[in-house]
């Protein structure tokens, strides 16, 4: 069994020798010629029914070889049977919710999580009743019609950690979805701990260069089939060019995460000592919920942090307006450092009481640390903090 970095470089390239290529081929076809009608019909049934591939791809909404190679590569990195790729992280979450809707109508959700995920679940637009609970209350809140438990760890934006093993035990037979975007496959392996679905906004670290929007769900083949059926019916497919860019980003994933994590550890320590900062939320400082899971569930503190400014909203707006090296923008996990205001941007649609309960204040900024020189990053932050 090869180690992570070797898999990251070589996964999804198994047919390159047969094709006599060295770089991943990019297939932009929207439709595929039909030589045999009976074979095509059987292929159509297989793909609509959730199979990974068939003798004839038929149509790009059903199957694309470039996307399939990327899915294969990510599944191998995650150690799962399958990976199903979507046009965005939200399309991926929506597909899971629609697939589970066939089994019941109730979902348990642990806050905080990404603001748009929170909004999608709270709105009920996928036909499911979302009940927001504390992780320790999952066992008592579980109902006969509960079809999914949703957690995000580390949580967006407070970096709180959720004990995956404990949640899975409390969920019983109910499948658990773990959004592991912040941790990346480098730092956390929820499937190995028993998670049914592992979701990544692949826009972030997996792509890693700010030039692709994508989402993936890693799971076993039994649960992957219904996701492919939903994807085919709703059209939430990943474009092959996006899949190509995503595949390109995988070989450097570990290198990028480790470099950015080293920067983040320095910045977190310095921010913690700055007089303009009330608190830094970072697993490596032990300042987040369940920080003791660092070193067991999660093998490194990661590249993201949040920090609360003493001056509230005005101070946060000033920092975002005056950084020069860092980019004031939403998203995360890119090679460059991004800083944003969760309360006013990514979590703007979250219920105000829920934001307050999670500690998402008007003075909170989220920092996604990149791979620039750490001294340049600190100089930029220091001048912005004033």
Residues that are catalytic:
61, 114, 179, 204
**Contact criterion met (CB below 8 Å) for 310 and 278:** yes
The two tokens of residue 334 are 């890119």
The edge-to-edge listing of strands for the beta sheet with 106-109 is 82-86, 215-219, 197-200, 176-179, 146-152, 106-109, 129-132
Calculated CA dihedral for residues 251, 257, 260, 264, nearest 10 degrees: 180
Cα separation of 120 and 114, whole Å? Answer: 10
* 157 upstream amide cis, omega within 30 of 0: yes
- State the first-to-last Cα distance of the chain, in angstroms, to the nearest integer: 51
Cα separation of 309 and 314, whole Å? Answer: 9
Q: Which residues of 204-220 are buried (b: 16+ CB within 10 A; e: fewer)?
A: bbbbbebebbbbbbbbe
In this structure, are strands 146-152 and 106-109 parallel, antiparallel, or unpaired? parallel
Give the helix/strand (H/E) hosting 74.
helix 65-78
Helices (H), 193-351: 221-234, 240-249, 253-272, 312-322
**Contact criterion met (CB below 8 Å) for 121 and 150:** yes
Whole-Å CA distances, 225 to 107, 178, 222, 323: 21, 19, 6, 46
| CB atoms closer than 10 angstroms to residue 281 | 24
Please name every residue paired with 84 in a beta bridge, in sequence order, or none if there are none. Answer: 217
């Amino acid at each position: 069994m090869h180690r992570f970095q070797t898999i990251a470089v070589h996964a999804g390239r198994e047919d390159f020798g047969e094709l006599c290529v060295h770089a991943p081929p990019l297939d932009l076809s929207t439709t595929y010629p039909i030589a045999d009608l009976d074979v095509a019909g059987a292929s159509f049934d297989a793909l609509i029914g959730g199979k990974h591939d068939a003798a004839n791809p038929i149509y790009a909404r059903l199957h694309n070889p470039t996307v399939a190679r990327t899915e294969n590569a990510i599944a191998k990195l995650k150690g799962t049977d399958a990976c199903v790729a979507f046009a965005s992280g939200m399309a991926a979450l929506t597909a899971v919710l629609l697939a589970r809707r066939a089994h019941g109508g109730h979902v348990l959700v642990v806050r905080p999580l990404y603001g748009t995920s929170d909004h999608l679940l709270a709105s009920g637009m996928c036909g499911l009743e979302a009940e927001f609970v504390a992780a320790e209350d999952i066992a008592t809140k579980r109902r006969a019609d509960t079809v999914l438990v949703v957690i995000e760890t580390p949580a967006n934006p407070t970096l709180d950690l959720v004990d995956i093993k404990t949640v899975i035990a409390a969920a019983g037979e109910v499948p658990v979805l773990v959004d592991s975007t912040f941790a990346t496959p480098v730092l956390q392996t929820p499937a190995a701990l028993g998670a049914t679905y592992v979701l990544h906004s692949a826009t972030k670290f997996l792509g890693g260069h700010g030039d692709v929007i994508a989402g993936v769900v890693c799971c076993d083949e039994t649960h992957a089939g219904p996701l492919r059926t939903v994807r085919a019916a709703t059209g939430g497919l990943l474009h092959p060019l996006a899949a190509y860019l995503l595949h390109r980003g995988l070989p450097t994933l570990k290198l990028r995460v480790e470099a950015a994590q080293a920067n983040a550890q320095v910045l977190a320590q310095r921010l913690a000592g700055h007089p303009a900062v009330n608190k830094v939320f970072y697993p490596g400082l032990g300042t987040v919920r369940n920080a003791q899971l660092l070193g067991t569930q999660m093998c490194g503190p990661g590249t993201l942090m949040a920090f609360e400014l003493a001056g509230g909203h005005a101070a946060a707006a000033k920092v975002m307006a005056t950084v020069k090296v860092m980019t004031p923008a939403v998203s995360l996990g890119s090679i460059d450092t991004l800083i944003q205001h969760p309360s006013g941007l990514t979590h703007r649609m979250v219920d105000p009481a829920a934001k307050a309960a999670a500690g998402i204040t008007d003075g909170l900024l989220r920092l996604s640390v990149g791979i620039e020189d750490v001294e340049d990053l600190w100089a930029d932050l220091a001048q912005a903090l004033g």
